Structure 1
Amino acid sequence: MNTSLTLAPTAADERTVRRRRLSHPAAFAAIAAILVAFTAASSAPSPLYVVYQQLWSFSAVTLTVVFAVYVVGLIGALLVLGALSDHVGRRPVLVAAIGLEAVALVLFLAAGDVGVLLAARFLQGIATGAALTTLGATLIDLNPPHAPGRAGLVNSIVPPAGLALGSLGTGALVQYAPGPTHLVYALLLAGMVLAAVVVLLMPETSRRRPGGARSLVPRLGVPARLRADMLALVPIIVASWALGGLYLSLGPSVAVEVFGLSSHLIGGLVVTLLCGTGAVTAFALRSYPTPRVLTLAGALLTAGTAVTLLGVQAGSVLLAAAGTVIAGVGFGASALASFGTLAVLAAPAERGELFAVALTIAYVAFSLPAVVAGLAATSYGLHGTALAYGLVVVALGGTALVAQRSRRA
């Protein structure tokens, strides 16, 4: 019996598969939505840290360990997996990242102590690190020819928007919905199931090429022609992400201890004021020249953080909120200029690795100062620690301004 008819795909079969694939515009929008889901999931635990502390009676040191293991997993994934999709294709890496994120969310749902919470956060870090570089590269692959800067814009807007959405949504659910430590993870898990279906339907945008196994060896490389541009971006990336790390790790706790704001919704709003303002700013400044945006980012990060410090010192919620909004404008301007620049400069075979370098710098700045701050808070209190941390960010913002002026000179 001839079995070739059942084993070999026909031309009609191949056409049917192609018809089932998402179009490039639809895939671009879907990848942007998946990026929102990942970044929202990464910030969702922030307003819950206070709840976990009340349930399990752990210290600020333990809280920062929970925060740190996420970043350890994320940076490890960036170093090991950052360039993998350039070799094996975008879809396999995305499917694996979504699957691992789903496992982490199941652990969050089952968590009854700090140990399970740590495991969930670590796995979530690995999944997020693998996803971020691949999603960013995929957006550039799918960028419509008539709008060459769109992928860079989306890569700039979506991460802070997702962080804001995750924090505010979680805060609202914890404050007003049942099952405060479960419902948000169930919703995110449903979103990941939908994301997996979307990825299976999207076209592959990166051709397979040799070197996949070698790409797993941890290394950070920037092509020689891009090194000067990358070096000029480092100060502003460090300043903005260091500030973001403070808000996502200790922001809700500062709202409770320093300002006496016990509402979980307010705890989520603390992060949203910074990140949401950043997302709006990135969109509003999308047509501005990059050098001007970089200068604006350094100036407003510095000024906004200084105003926030005055509010913390004076115990004024309104002044601290105003400073956070000003700093949020700088945060968004930084994301737009830095990641938008990389999106335009990188060649297709460089995208995964270059985004891995930029994100590694960002998340080291995001995590290490926040961990140090968490440890310092046990000895010096949140008030003093927040002031010292803010002063460091002010200094970093000033350094970013100097770096940009030197680069332009």
Structure 2
Amino acid sequence: MTTSRPVARILGFGGAVIATSLAAAAAPTPLYHHYAAAWGGRFSDGAFAYALYAGTVLLAIACAGIFVDRVGVRKVVSAALGAQIVALLLLATASSFVIVDVARGLQGVATGLAIVPLGALMVESSYRWGAVISAAAPGLGTGVGALSAAAVVQAVAEPAAVVYLVFAPLVVVQLAMVRWAVPPDRVLPPTLGIAVPSFPTTGKGAFTVVALLLLGAWGLAGYLGSAWPMSSQEILSTSFVGIESVPLAATTITGAAAALALRRVRRASLSLLTSAALVTAGGVFWAGVTLANDVMIVGAAALAGLGFGGAMLTAAKAVRQCRAADVVPATAMTYLLCYGGMAFAALGAGFALDVGSDAREVAGAVLIAVTALAALAGGGALVLDRR
């Protein structure tokens, strides 16, 4: 890019699309109880829908580089936004979990096809701000989506249609802006052999630390977005409906702020800070679960946001330092790790609840996994820093 205006367009548009996609994906978080009350169902119904979304994101991420190689960013992003609109309309009119599952699968494909090319294009366009915005946008979008949906659930008798139709017009506007924001010649390196997600060819030790942090941070987010809304009332005595969505929003919005605030921190120091935040948050969250204290749980979720944002920023910095040929596959691998952690946590927690496991025990198992991954990442970062 030779002028600042096209770069600003790419950064603004890319950040907006990623944030909106993640906001729309988080919108069902407070609706699972509404669905269960209307249609009946089990804990795993909501968890399966969430994991299906994450799984189809993974599939789309694996294919996104190939599609970009073939037709370019503009057409891939346009197709992704069109699919997102269809998914939102299906969710707005859903009358069973089957339709929700179909829509969530389509939504996952749309999200995966959008975030990989736009994330890579943002980093390619601006060495500094592309990494920061691509790290902050997912958390901001997820948090805003969860909070806005929770507000609608508390204010409207039949919230489902309203929640999704809030986001659909935004996606329509973004679809209309693709030709303006993405120049037609933006076809990322046409190297089909590296189009699939992979670790960069250099710095694999540092990227392994990134992988552990992403699995832990997004695993916690996956639990908070799926099993937690279905089981929070068993853990807490509060009647505040928003407690189903507030922990996820606290984690992701704090994460977006952390990605902006910590952008100048050295990557090794950032890895250690991220690890410490996730380990501490896991302990505080478990104390809140044990004491049935919603204030402690929300506080722990906000502290986990420091780890969430730190993990995303650490990953973005790692991608930014890759060779040009590694940018697309490393970006894809970043999101593959994010959604892999999310899907595993959502499915594991949902099915554990289905077979009768205590909600507190399930929360404890998730928190142990998160803290273990974070501690391993911290240890790895210390070893690499001393070399």
TM category (shorter chain) comes to over 0.9
Secondary structure (helix, strand or coil) at the match of 2:357 reads helix
Which residue identity lines up with residue 29 of structure 1 in the other structure?
A: G
Q: TM-score, normalised by structure 2?
A: 0.92
The alpha carbon displacement at 1:380 in A equals 0.9
Q: Which residue in the other structure is 2:154 paired with?
A: 175
- Please say if 1:362 is aligned against 2:338: yes
**Paired residues of 2:219 and 2:370 also in contact (CA < 8 A):** yes
State the number of aligned residues.
Answer: 380
Q: Is the counterpart of residue 392 in structure 1 residue 349 in structure 2?
A: no
Structure 1: gaps spanning 5 or more residues: 1-21
Whether 1:88 aligns to 2:49 is: no
The residue aligned with 1:371 is 347
Structure 2: which amino acid aligns with 1:377?
L
Correspondence 1:336 to 2:309? no
Mark the CA change 1:247 to 1:82 in structure 2 (over 3 Å): closer, same or farther.
Answer: farther
Residues 87 and 209 in structure 1, CA contact (< 8 A), matched pair in contact too: no
Q: 1:137: which partner in 2?
A: 120
The CA deviation at 1:205 is 5.4
Amino acid at match of 1:156: A
For residues 190 and 339 of structure 2, what CA distance do their matches in structure 1 show? 29
Q: 1:232 to 1:395 in 2, by over 3 A?
A: closer
C-alpha distance in structure 1 between counterparts of 2:156 and 2:317, whole Å: 38
Quote the Cα distance in structure 1 between the aligned partners of 2:307 and 2:41: 34
- Flag the 1:287–1:208 CA change in 2: closer, same or farther, 3 A: closer
Once the two structures are superposed, what CA deviation does each residue of 1:376-408 show, in whole Å capped at 9, x if it has no partner? 112212122111211121111111111111222
Match of 1:49 in 2: 32
Q: 2: distance between equivalents of 1:215 and 1:334? A: 24
Shift of 1:50: 1.5
The range that moved more, 32-41 or 134-143, is: 134-143
Tell me, yes or no, if the aligned pair for 1:105 and 1:120 is still in contact at 8 Å.
yes
How far does the alpha carbon of each residue in 1:344-363 deviate from its partner, in whole angstroms, 9 at most, with x for none?
3241x432222111211221
RMSD over aligned Cα atoms? 2.0
- 2:207 corresponding residue in structure 1: 230
1:164 to 143, 146, 161: 143
Q: Is 1:25–1:142's contact at 8 Å kept on the other side of the alignment?
A: no
Tell me what 1:31 maps to: 14
TM-score normalised per structure 1: 0.88
Given the alignment, which residue of 41, 47, 61 partners 1:64?
A: 47
Please name the residue that 2:292 is paired with: 315
Unaligned runs of 5+ in 2: none
2:47 and 2:243 map into 1 onto residues whose CA distance is 20
Aligned to 2:283: 306
1:154 aligns with 2:133: yes
| Match 1:263 to one of 215, 230, 240 | 240
CA contact (8 A) 1:255 1:262 kept: no
Partner of 1:73: 56
Aligned partner of 2:224 in structure 1 is: 247
Instruction: Flag the structure with larger Rg.
Output: 1
* Superposition misfits of 4+ residues, deviation over 4 angstroms: 208-212
| Residue equivalent to 2:171 | 192
Residue identity matched to 2:76: V
CA distance in 1 between partners of 2:300 and 2:190 (Å): 50
The percentage of aligned residue pairs carrying the same residue is 25
Equivalent residue letter for 1:365: G
